[in-house]
Each structure stands twice: as C-alpha cells, then as structure tokens.
C-alpha cells in the first residue's frame, strides 16, 4: 500500500475523558467530514449516537428519531476513517453479535491492526440504544449510560458501520467491536447492542495509521488519566 493510499483512523479525544464525565464537544461535524467518510461518535453532551456513512452524518437520538446535525454541531469523542474497502464478504445467517464476532475473527484474523467495516443488508432483529442528553459534566459514562433509550427493531434493513480495535488502544478508545446502525429509511438507529443478521455484504479494510486528536488542555485538566479504567469501561459497555 503506497503512502497516499494509507487508511487512517483519526481518534477524537480519549475514551477515558468520557468515562470521567466530560461531555462537551471538541470538534465540529464539518471537521469530522473533512477527516474521513465513515465514523462513529457521540454528540455534544452525549446527545445521541452519531454515525457517518458515505460522508453523511446521522444523529440517532433517545427520542427514537434520526436527524441530520448541522455542520457546526460538535462531537466530544469519536472515531473517523477515510474508509477504502479493499475486501468484501457476503454474510448470512448470523443470529447474534457474538457469532458475528466469531465469524469475523476467522475472516479478518489480523486482530492487532484496527479494522473498519461497513455492512449493508437485512436483519431479523436489531437492538440499538441511545444515551439521553447530559446537561452537566461529572456524571461518569457508566452512570450516564443508565439513562438511555433502547429500541428493538425487527425485520429491518440498513447500514452497520464501525470498528474492531486492538487491546492496546485501551484508555484512548474501547478495545474490541463498536458498531452503530441506521436503517435504510434513515429514521431509526443507534449504538448496536445485539442483532440477528440475515444477509448482506460486508466491506472492510485494515487501518495502517492511527492518530489521536487530543481535546484542548482545559478538557484534560484535573483528570486522573493514570488510573485503571477497566471496571468503568466494562460497566459502560455492559451488553455493548
């Protein structure tokens, strides 16, 4: 892969900052679009789950609706990729997130390299969630995640986008899978909890460049980022 073909992941802020309860936006939606064409993120004050698909940004909120945020809306944390699918897979009959993971472990075995995916297809079931807006900082993410809306969609089609990240990103991001969904009608979506996949096509690529865009110094000020976040991470990602 030549230098100008590198697949770069741009990591906005640190997951440990979210876990610490700092939710103010640090990068605009316009800047997200300039950094790639595929992304998952949360919006300012945790107001919904963001996903960028083919360069279009969608905001799935706890009211059950999907919106198109303005370019000057902001994001406190996210993962962005200049997605260039170099491989494709037909997937069918994977009745759970866990079986999807197992299948991809065999099909995409390079687990020490960040993996970006975009799946388009049909689902028997898609369970998603969206955290409600947090007006104040200080409530850790694990606690804030208790105030969320969960939607169980059936017989739907749409786009699944996201990343599988190696263990060494812990603290900067959450290791493992993190996927967001938006349906074909662009009306329902959110952070993926579980799903039953019927059929469709998965496009994927490995990233060979991982850059972290730190938030302003005042956002990091006073945080204990040396601590072990594994327990908080597990709570925040409980049942995804």
* 205 SS3 class: strand
CB atoms within 10 A of CB 33: 16
Helix (H, G, I), strand (E, B) or coil at 137: coil
H/E element holding 31? helix 29-35
What is the reported pTM?
0.94
Q: What is the pLDDT of residue 231?
A: 72
**Of 239, 234, 227, nearest to 16 (Cα)?**
227
- Torsion sign (Cα): 172, 166, 118, 101: negative
Mean pLDDT of 190-196: 97
- 181 neighbors 158 (Cβ within 8 angstroms): yes
d(C-alpha 95, C-alpha 198), whole Å: 8
Tokens of 14: 């640190």
Q: What is the pLDDT of residue 1?
A: 42
Q: So what's the architecture of 3-236 in CATH? A: 2-Layer Sandwich (3.30)
Cα separation, 48 vs 53, whole angstroms: 16
pLDDT of residue 64: 96
The residue ranges of every structural domain in the chain are 3-236
Rounded to an integer, the average pLDDT of 20-35 is 96
């Amino acid at each position: 892969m030549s230098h100008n073909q590198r697949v770069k992941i741009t990591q906005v802020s640190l997951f440990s900052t979210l876990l610490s309860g700092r939710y103010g936006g640090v990068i605009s939606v316009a800047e997200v679009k300039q950094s790639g064409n595929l992304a998952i993120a949360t919006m300012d004050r945790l107001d919904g789950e963001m996903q960028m698909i083919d360069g279009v940004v969608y905001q799935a909120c706890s009211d059950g609706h999907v919106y198109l945020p303005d370019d000057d809306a902001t994001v406190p944390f996210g993962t962005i990729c200049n997605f260039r699918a170099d491989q494709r897979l037909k997937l069918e009959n994977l009745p759970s997130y866990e079986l999807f993971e197992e299948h991809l472990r065999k099909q995409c075995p390079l687990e020490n390299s960040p993996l970006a995916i975009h799946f388009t297809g049909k689902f028997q079931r898609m369970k998603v969630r969206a955290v409600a807006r947090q007006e104040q900082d200080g409530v850790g993410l694990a606690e804030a995640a208790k105030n969320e809306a969960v939607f169980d969609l059936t017989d739907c089609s749409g786009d699944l986008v996201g990343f599988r990240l190696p263990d060494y990103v812990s603290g900067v991001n959450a290791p493992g899978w993190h996927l967001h969904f938006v349906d074909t009608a662009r009306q329902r979506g959110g952070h993926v909890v579980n799903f039953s996949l019927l059929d469709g096509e998965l496009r994927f690529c490995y990233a060979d460049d991982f850059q972290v865009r730190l938030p302003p110094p005042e956002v990091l000020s006073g945080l204990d980022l040396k601590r072990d976040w594994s327990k908080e991470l597990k709570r925040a990602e409980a049942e995804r």
